[in-house]
Every structure is written in structure tokens, then in C-alpha cells.
Amino acid sequence: MRMKLRILATVCAAAMAPTLSSANELIVQDWSGYEDPGFIGAYIAAHGGPPKYSFFGEEEEAFQKLRSGFKVDVSHPCAQSVSKWREAGLIEPLDISRIARWDDVDVIKEKFKYDDGYYFLPTDWGSTALTYRTDLVDLDKMNSLQVFLDPEFEGRVSMQDSSDGAYALAYLATGVSDWSKATQEDFEKATAWLRKAHKNVLTYWTDGAQLNQLMTSGEVTVAWAWNETPTALKAEGIPVASNRDAVEGSSTWFCGYSNVVDGPNSEDLMYDFLNAWMEPESAAYIVSAWGYGHGNQTAMTALGKGALNNIGLGPVSTPVLAQLPMDTKLREQMIAEFEKIKAGF
């Protein structure tokens, strides 16, 4: 059901795009799928349609496009990328006085406060965990991340096509649950583990829809997946489960919007867009339709603890690696090494 809602929303967004006038052409650099009008109902109501979107599949792609001079007004990085983008001079501080619900924003916002201001508005978050087809695996093996190395699953595994997602798994599997404190030795251990796991990988998924298809067909039986996958597939009657309580743990990610330097259009439009994202209606929508958490903590609290439990984001007893800012040099090594691993080296 949820996947149907997302497909319908995307069609609706595309249908509304031609109604925009040149005065309302805010340009948003975003992940594919986030053009869903359910996130920005207030913006659409005020301006007669959604902004223009330019999509990316991975944050390094978005970073390189911006660095090459590609012009947008606002972009959607995840937490671990913010310091890199700031150091590269690609983003600038937000005027928080223009974000109406700033006091309601999750306390994680303080992680992105620098001497000259805040560089990140947290909007969406979720988990990544061991996910599997309950009818096609030995369930006794689904309590440890070491299953990704098990020869039984050769050619039946999938991981995210992202250095951050892949290394979150590898760090956890090698005993690191806080990558902001990772050493060079920790990185090398995680890299060696990831290289071993690569032998079992059928493909690295680029978006949730691709992974959902692979798990529905049974081509992939074990995956490192966002919580949207079990939420969506179980709603479709596919026997899929996720184990955030695996012995080594799971990971959480937080994404949001940043103000891009020298955006070509009015900042008034950008703040209308950001304020629309912070509406309680947007929080309720992302929880019910996507299975993700929202950056408006007040709105999330109002939805009740059961809302998070229902989408697999409730509390767990095992380690959680939060994908927060980390050492920039080490992250650059991760990006470079991950490309080698995917290429078979």
C-alpha cells in the first residue's frame, strides 16, 4: 500500500509541475522520490505547485555537481556530509528566525551549529538494519551481521550503493558503534570485512524501490536495508522482516536541507519550502506513507510512541551507529575504498 501511495504521489507531483510560473521556480537538489507533494502541502498551496527538482542517487554525486558550478537553491544532504559541504564552501548558514517551527526541531540540530550559525535543518530519519525473506533463510542465522559473510548466501545479498551505508554495516560488524571515534585501524578492519562481504553481493541497491523488487522476486534474501523496505513489503504480503536487535546492532541516519551558496532564486521561496517541511501534517505523512521519522520532534511526540514502534523505529537493546558527522579525511578514504571494493579490487 505504501509503495502505491508513493508512486501515486510522484505522478501527482509530475502532473503539477507544468503549472509553475517562472517566479516560483525554486530549484531543489534532492533524492529521487522526495518530490512527493505530501511533504510540502503548505508550499504547494501557497505557490500553486511544487518547486523544480534536480535528482541525485548518492551524496557524492550531489557534492560533485555543486562543486562543478551546478546552480540550485537548496539541497538535501544527510548528516555525515554537512561538514564536508561546509568546508568546501557549498552551503551557508540558515536564518533560523525565518523557520517558524525552529524550536520544535529535533535536538540533533545542535550537531550542525558552527560559529557562524546552523547549516542544516533535520527533516527525515530512519534506520538501516539486517533485513531478510523469512521464508527463504535459516532464521537462526538472522541474529548477527556476520550472515553477510556466510557462503550460503553468495549471490543473494544486497547492500546500499553508498559508502556511508556500507561502512555503517562494516563498522558495526567489526565492533565499532561510534564512527566519530573510529581510528585508522578501525577503518582498515571495516574495509577488510566489507571486501569479504562483497563476494556475496548480487548488487548494490540505489533506492528502496529497486531493493523491494529484488526481495519480492526472491533474488535477494538478505539485505542491509532502510526500514522502509520491511514496512512496504509486509504491507504487500511479502514475508520480510528486519532485525534491529542483531548482536552487533543497527544504524540510524538523519537527512535534511541546507542553504546552497549563491542560489539563483528567492530565499523567500526557500524558507516557504523549509517551513512546509516542518508542518505537523508533513510529519504525520512521512510516518504513515513512508515509514520514516520526521525532524519536527514536537509533532513526532504528538503522534505517540506507538507510531515509531509500528514502523520499526522504536528503542532497541543492541548498539546503534548514528550516521553523524565524522572525520573528513577518514570519510574520504571510505568513499575511495568503497569504489574499489565495488569494482572487485
Q: Which whole-number Å values give the CA distances from 343 to 85, 89, 160, 210, 264, in the listed order?
A: 26, 31, 15, 20, 38
Report d(CA 327, CA 345) in Å as an integer.
Answer: 24
Q: Average pLDDT in the 185-193 region?
A: 98
CB atoms within 10 A of CB 238: 18
The distance between the two most distant Cα atoms of the chain, rounded to a whole number of Å, is 58
Q: Which of 328, 301, 305, 324 is nearest to 315 (CA)?
A: 305
Note the helical H segments in 154-227: 163-173, 184-198, 208-217
**Rounded Cα gap, residues 51 and 277, in angstroms:** 13
Q: Which of 21-35, 82-96, 256-270, 291-305 bottoms out in mean pLDDT, i.e. has the lowest?
A: 21-35
* Cα–Cα distance measured from residue 251 to residue 300, given in angstroms and rounded to the nearest whole number: 20
Give the integer Cα–Cα distance in Å for 320 and 127: 9
Alpha-carbon distance of 131 to 227, in angstroms, equals 9
Domains, the chain, with CATH or none: 2-125+254-310 (3.40.190.10), 126-252+315-342 (3.40.190.10)
Q: Taking residues 81-87, what's their average pLDDT?
A: 94
pLDDT of residue 183: 96
Q: What are the angstrom distances between the C-alpha of 48 and each of 9, 30, 270?
A: 16, 20, 15
Query: 16 pLDDT exceeds 60?
Result: no
Q: Which of 18-27, 168-177, 186-195, 313-322 has the lowest mean pLDDT?
A: 18-27
- Whether residue 9 has pLDDT greater than 80: no
In Å, how far are 26, 166, 202, 233, 234 from 221, measured between CA atoms? Answer: 41, 17, 10, 13, 14
Of 104-108, 223-227, 286-290, which gets the smallest average pLDDT? 286-290
List b or e across 271-304, with b for residues whose CB sees 16 or more CB atoms inside 10 angstroms.
bbbbbbbbbbebbbbbbebbbbbbbbbebbeebe
Q: What is the mean pLDDT of the chain?
A: 91
Q: What is the structure's pLDDT at 218?
A: 97
**pLDDT 10s digits, 195-248:** 999 999 999 998 888 999 999 999 999 999 998 899 889 989 999 999 999 999
Q: What is the pLDDT of residue 217?
A: 98
Q: Please check whether residue 75 is in contact with residue 92, taking contact to mean a CB–CB distance below 8 angstroms.
A: no
Q: Return the closest-CA partner of residue 327 out of 175, 148, 176.
A: 176
What's the average model confidence in pLDDT over 162-180? 96
pLDDT at 228: 86
| Stated pTM of the model | 0.85
User: For a pLDDT cut of 70, what percent of the chain falls above it?
Assistant: 93
Residue 252 confidence (pLDDT) above 50 = yes
Radius of gyration over alpha carbons of the chain, in Å?
20
pLDDT at 309: 86
pLDDT of residue 19: 36
Q: Count other C-beta atoms under 10 Å from residue 333's C-beta.
A: 17
Q: Is the pLDDT of residue 190 over 80?
A: yes
Would the pLDDT of 21 be above 80? no
Q: Is the pLDDT of residue 115 over 90?
A: yes
Task: Give the pLDDT of residue 24.
Answer: 52
Q: What is the pLDDT at residue 7?
A: 37
> According to the model, what pLDDT value does residue 294 have?
97
The alpha carbon of residue 283 and the mean position of all alpha carbons in its chain are separated, in whole angstroms, by 16
Confidence class of residue 4 from pLDDT cuts 50, 70 and 90? very low
Are 257 and 274 in contact by the 8 Å Cβ rule? The answer is: yes
**Position 42 confidence tier, pLDDT thresholds 50, 70, 90:** very high
Residue 311 CA to residue 300 CA, distance in Å, equals 13
> Among all chains, which residue has been given the C-alpha cell 503539477?
16
Vertex 293 angle, CA 287 and 297, to 5°: 110
- The three cell numbers of residue 219 are 533474488
Structure confidence at residue 32 (pLDDT): 86
> Among 131-135, 276-280, 318-322, 323-327, which stretch is predicted with the lowest mean pLDDT?
323-327
What phi, psi does 47 have (nearest 5°)?
-115, 0
